[in-house]
Amino acid sequence: MKREIAVLTVGDELLNGERADTNTAAIARRLAPHGLRLRESLTVADVESEIEEALLELAGRRDVVIVTGGLGATVDDLTARVAARAFKRHLVLSDEALRLIREHFRRTGREMHPRNEKQALLPQKAILIPNPVGSAPGFILPQGEKELYFLPGVPAEMLAMLEATVLPRLRVGGEGAVARERIFKILGLSEPAIEEMVAGAGLPVGVTVAFGVDFPLVHLKLRCSRADADSLLDRSDLIVRRLFGENLVAMGDETLAGNVARMLVGMGLTLALAESCTGGLIAAELTELPGASAFLERGAVTYADSAKIAWLKVPASLIAKEGAVSEACARAMARGVRRSAGSDFGLAVTGIAGPDGGSPLKPVGTVFLAVAGESGETVLPCHFGGDRGEIRRQSVCLALDLLRRALIGRIAGGA
């Protein structure tokens, strides 16, 4: 039996613009490898009547409801109380929950606040879900064939409890045919262009196509739920790789930055960065994953000309003549940071992210990317549209892609 799963997230902050809900996507990501899919996700405010109505509706039309948020120690944390009322149970103090809360504070060496005792009040006959990270215990409410899981809203706590308790229980339920999916991340082609290319490529029958956008990347998703899904998707994989060639910049869960990092580590090569308008974003992305110290020697965020001159040895005369946003400066930055770090590659970005600083000759969105290696430098002049954030995003992706192409060239060249 394929169970239908819904997520309910609770919190004013998710509806007043203060915070975007990341729990739904995080839950979906953990469910997917087990062939479990969300059917819907609902968000309501910290209002008793709204939470109650949402619980009853979702429990009515789905088999499993995962609720996050509202289990904290403060007055606007209402979920346990409302759940008890919705399903006509008493709210009782759970000794086991209280013990776990006390244990949490002892373990973390922090003082327990009397208000934290409130977190041990659970609906009668609820099954406790221990919280390995924080103080709020979660709980399961079985309703006939259905199950409601209540987890805290704090992402790290929610995920730890999902992994430790919820996922194992959901898997035991046993799912039927698993829908497989492969994701191809493509840079430099539009969604309709990609769709037309795929439509004419002769993908095997049974493989369906969907799209997503992670600006400026387009995600092409191939899905198959047949018994021979793996072999059909393997065949599709070959077709898609041939079709998109160098425009295919990452696959599956991997990001473009993750792919570049993996290539560098695998090839035993080192990198140094010189960033102007991207302001450290490339460094931040490359160091998000563990192990970045294996390849990243150093990075410079050179906003001021003096920094470009001192650290990157860009000649002052070059900046005076060509400007800091120029092909020559990008080239000198990449070469300079590579030389100062003694790294295999240098990657540089200089440009105008706006909204100010543009001129008729070099309008906002003018960005120069450069990669330096042992055989010299390659510069890519770009003219990006969009706002400051979008110009920075495109600069990050195209710079990483420029390096990726240089690394592929090294393989192709037999180096």
> Within positions 1 to 60, which residues make up the interface with a second copy, using CB under 8 A?
11-22, 24-32, 37-46, 50, 54
Please say which residue, 216 or 409, places its beta carbon nearer to a second copy: 216
Minimal distance in Å, beta carbon 196 to a second copy? 7
Cα–Cα distance list, 270 to 3, 113, 280 (Å): 48, 49, 18
Minimal distance in Å, beta carbon 25 to a second copy? 4
Minimal distance in Å, beta carbon 125 to a second copy? 27
Residues 70-89 that bind a second copy (CB under 8 A): 72-76
Q: Residues 333, 338, 343, CA angle at the centre, nearest 5°?
A: 160
Measured CA to CA, the distance from residue 122 to residue 19 in angstroms comes to 27
Q: How many residues bind a second copy (CB under 8 A)?
A: 106
Residues 280-319 that bind a second copy (CB under 8 A): 280-284, 286-288, 290-293, 296-304, 306-307, 310-311
* Contact by Cβ (8 Å): 151, 136: no
Q: For the window 208-247, what string marks contact with a second copy as x by the rule CB under 8 A? A: -xxxxxxx---x-x--------------------------
Q: Which stretch binds a second copy (CB under 8 A): 95-103, 185-193, 227-235, 400-408?
A: 185-193
Minimal distance in Å, beta carbon 91 to a second copy? 19
Measured CA to CA, the distance from residue 410 to residue 264 in angstroms comes to 11
Minimal distance in Å, beta carbon 83 to a second copy? 18
Helix, strand, or coil here: 62? coil
Minimal distance in Å, beta carbon 87 to a second copy? 20
Q: Which of 92, 132, 146, 195 binds a second copy (CB under 8 A)?
A: 195
Q: Residues 375, 242, 285, CA angle at the centre, nearest 5°?
A: 55
Amino acid at residue number 278: T
Q: Which of 93, 164, 177, 193 binds a second copy (CB under 8 A)?
A: 193
Please say which residue, 40 or 408, places its beta carbon nearer to a second copy: 40
Minimal distance in Å, beta carbon 412 to a second copy? 29
Please say which residue, 237 or 409, places its beta carbon nearer to a second copy: 237
Minimal distance in Å, beta carbon 73 to a second copy? 4
- The residue to which tokens 């180096």 are assigned: 415
Residues 257-286 that bind a second copy (CB under 8 A): 273, 275, 278-284, 286
Cβ neighbours, 10 Å, residue 32: 15
DSSP track, 362-375: S-TTEEEEEEEETT
Residues 335-374 that bind a second copy (CB under 8 A): 340-342, 354-357
Phi/psi for 370 (5° steps) reads -145, 140
Cβ neighbours, 10 Å, residue 242: 10
Measured CA to CA, the distance from residue 181 to residue 170 in angstroms comes to 20
What radius of gyration, in Å, describes the C-alpha atoms of the chain? 26
Q: For the window 103-142, what string marks contact with a second copy as x by the rule CB under 8 A? A: -----x-x--x-xx--------------------------
Q: Residues 143, 158, 212, CA angle at the centre, nearest 5°?
A: 100
Sign of CA dihedral 284, 285, 288, 290: negative
